[in-house]
């Protein structure tokens, strides 16, 4: 079995992070808002990369496509194929994520910060990384659209 340790940059290895995440689930779930499962297409752009001049098309920032796993009024779970866009980590400290969700009523653009991530094991139904995102304050219109979507999910779940 290969040795697992803290990375050279001082970050926690995926193995250790997985243990910490599972321990958090058993000891205390810090979520205050109920989460509702729903799969919606998502595109993530790093705030600093929204005007990336190193690409062949500078009008189009580097992005990563994935989907949501669940929603709440204060956050969401994203499933992404990678944890980085280029050399930048989605989960970097203070890293703002610009997230575009494709709702039936139209696109919804949100800002958030990754609060945790977990590499999904090969035996999971999903592949890639689960990223927990805390949503930043949003405009009234975006908040209303998100809350309406959550009400629809909740109603369909009942």
Q: Which helix (H) or strand (E) holds 79?
A: strand 75-80
Report the candidate in 141, 148, 151, 153 with the shortest Cα–Cα distance to residue 68. 153
Q: Tens place of pLDDT for every residue, the chain, 158 residues?
A: 444 444 444 455 677 767 766 655 554 455 578 899 999 999 999 986 444 444 444 555 799 999 999 999 899 999 999 999 988 999 988 899 999 999 988 899 999 999 999 999 876 788 899 999 999 988 999 999 999 999 998 888 76
Ramachandran region of residue 83, left (φ > 0), alpha (ψ -120 to 50) or beta? alpha
Residue-level pLDDT at 24: 59
Residue-level pLDDT at 59: 55
Taking the mean position of all CA atoms in its chain, how far away is CA 23? 20
Task: Round to the nearest angstrom and report the end-to-end CA distance of the chain.
Answer: 45
Domains of the chain listed by start with CATH number: 1-30 (no CATH), 33-157 (2.40.10.220)
Number of H helices, E strands in the chain: 2, 9
């Amino acid at each position: 079995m290969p040795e697992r340790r803290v990375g050279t940059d001082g970050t926690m290895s995926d193995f250790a992070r997985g243990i910490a995440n599972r321990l958090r689930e058993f000891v205390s779930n810090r979520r205050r808002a109920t989460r509702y499962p729903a799969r919606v297409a998502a595109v993530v752009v790093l705030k600093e990369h929204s005007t990336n001049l190193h690409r062949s098309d500078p009008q189009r920032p580097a992005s990563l496509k994935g989907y949501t796993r669940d929603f709440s009024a204060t956050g969401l779970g994203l499933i992404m194929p990678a944890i980085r866009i280029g050399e930048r980590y989605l989960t970097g400290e203070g890293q703002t994520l610009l997230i575009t969700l494709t709702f039936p009523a139209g696109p919804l653009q949100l800002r958030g910060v990754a609060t945790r991530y977990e590499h999904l094991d090969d035996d999971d139904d999903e592949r890639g990384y689960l990223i927990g995102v805390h949503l930043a304050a949003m405009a009234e219109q975006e908040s209303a659209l998100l809350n309406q979507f959550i009400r629809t999910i909740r109603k369909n779940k009942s």
